[in-house]
Amino acid sequence: METRALGKSGLQVSVVGLGCMNFGMMNDQAQATAIVNRSIELGVNFFDTADVYGNRGTSEEYLGKALGARRREVIIASKFAAPMSTEHAWMQGGSRRWIMQAVEGSLRRLGSDYLDLYQMHRADTAVPIEETLRALDDLVSQGKVRYIGCSNYAAWQIADAAWTSREHHLGAFISAQNRYSVLVRDLEKEIVPAVNQFGLGILPYFPLESGLLSGKYRPGQDFPADSRLVKWGAWAAAAFASPDKLEKITGLFQLCDRFGHSMLQLAMGWLAGKPYVSSIIAGVTTVPQLEQNVTAALWRASAEELAEIDKLCPPPEGGFPGPRR
């Protein structure tokens, strides 16, 4: 499988990564192990999890057990900052106190002595970014973390972190993990220019909009009973299957039929064709889903079809000015 540099770092990640949020939630240990094994066979080397995934810790545990002795063959990315306790308010965020404890918990659950990429799951405006970055820099110096990244940051927060790292000679974020798909293109307006300026790679999550872009959901039909949009309840349908998105889906299906490819190919291949995307974080619940995602990411749209996609799912106004050279 194709690999790409994660931002302006030396870390090479597979263009399709495995999102492990379903481990411990929709997948048991045996299923998680089967998915991880097949991922490695297919050339996937990038595994993304978080301390909070799988009811606070189970995802990391399942991933660590599934990898076993192969841990050093792959790249593990985890995250901190989401609440890890309903009783202790300090067990979240970007304070030095919490970061130093959170990383130990993740390493223990993963059965590893280091993380390849440690990402701040969300910005913490109550803590100075210098404190957060200095704590992360210390973890890199200690060998517990190789690289650091951010998730769900606004463009100004990415810029603020980059300038703070430069001003204080601290390790800098090399990645930004944000929601991004052909249906949700908001980040092209400000975040893409920011990551191009400061040398971060984008790691899109929800590339299939929780299955809406998988090809399983045809306009006018009920969602499958075993789908996440049904299992997760009404909030999921509201977040991922709003009327405007369903209208766009109708047009995209017509486009796929006209150009002779699948919706899954359009969704994965469109993202893989973006020069600022390093690895697509795609979660699955079965091995066949994984195999289909990997194959779909090989497809690329023609210039004609890209123009048609932009008409159906337009980029934000005043957006992406082009890659920084």
Residues catalogued as catalytic? 53
Rounded CA separation 46/59 (Å): 15
User: Which structure tokens are listed for 124?
Assistant: 């913490």
User: Which structure tokens are listed for 81?
Assistant: 């900052």
Q: Residues 192-218, buried b or exposed e (16+ Cβ, 10 A)?
A: bbbbbebebbbbbbbbbbbbbbbbbbe
| Of 2, 1, 11, nearest in space to 201 by CA | 11
DSSP state string for 223-264: PPTTSHHHHT-HHHHHHH--HHHHHHHHHHHHHHHHHT--HH
Rounded CA separation 141/296 (Å): 39
Kind and range of the H or E run holding 29: helix 29-41
Ramachandran sector of residue 143 (left: φ over 0; alpha: ψ -120 to 50; beta: rest) = left
| Of 234, 232, 183, nearest in space to 212 by CA | 183
